[in-house]
Amino acid sequence: MSWIVVNAAKGMKLLPIRPSRLPEISSVWATRLPKTLASMVMLSGLVAIAAPISPAIAARKDSQTDYRNCVSSLINLKITTELAVSACSRAQYPQNLHNCVVDISSVSPYEPADALNACRQVRRPEDMAFCVTDISRALKDSVAGEVLDSCRRSLQPVQYANCVVGISRGAAGLSSPVALSSCIDTQAFPREVDPTFIPYVESPLQVPQDLSPQPITTPPFMQPAPQPQAPSPSPVRGLF
């Protein structure tokens, strides 16, 4: 004897069925099951459409506040209104942008305009601000322009700052340019990071050379040498 569950008016019940009716019941369920699944999918779609959109509206209101705070903060740092509006309107996360500028500008001698120019070029401006402030406070002999440019070029600013500060405190007398260049080379060339299967060849630490653009010299204009002309053939006697 087999049993089947039915939804009665007073609850679920088990009713006995004869084995001879099993094929008939199976065919009925095979016919109704696709329709039931389709109805459930349509119902779930309607529920998703009719769901409230209050979180999206709340996020939109928050973004308006972020843009307003971004512009006002940059203007308070003596940045021109045109530059502040352009920077905040183009930023995907304006709150992170103005936080980056404020944090870097709080450390002397960084100018707000230079900080804004660097913060606009990175994807994680708050991480870059941590990099600049951490290195500047730890390395008193560092050059502001070199620290700002190195943190801007780094793909992982927080790890880069930890590297620079760590090796500077561990090696007494290590100059700031050497520490900055050593850690940035490690990130620019991952093959030089241990462990590696490449044989290690020790090389002395080198102070980075001046990377400023060199003036382009134009070679003097030279007149092309005249090409010798071949003599014209003389007419054959007797043909003319």
Q: What is the pLDDT of residues 50-61, one digit of tens each?
A: 555 444 444 556
CB 160 within 8 A of CB 127: no
Q: What is the pLDDT of residues 62-96, one digit of tens each?
A: 688 999 999 999 999 999 999 999 999 999 899 99
> Which pLDDT score is estimated for 95?
92
Q: Which of 2-11, 113-122, 227-236 has the lowest mean pLDDT?
A: 2-11
CB 4 within 8 A of CB 25: yes
Higher-confidence position of 185 and 150? 150
DSSP 183-228: HHHHHH-GGGSSS-SSPP------PPPP-SPPPPPPPPP-PPPPPP
Q: Which of 46-50, 84-88, 105-109, 127-131 has the lowest mean pLDDT?
A: 46-50
Q: Is the pTM of this model over 0.85?
A: no
CB 128 within 8 A of CB 107: no
Q: What is the pLDDT of residues 111-130, one digit of tens each?
A: 999 999 999 999 999 999 99
Q: Is the dihedral of CA 107, 110, 112, 114 positive or negative?
A: negative
Average pLDDT score, the chain: 75
Residue whose token pair is 């760590």: 166
The Cα–Cα gap between 155 and 186 comes to 11
Confidence of residue 157 (pLDDT cuts 50, 70, 90): very high
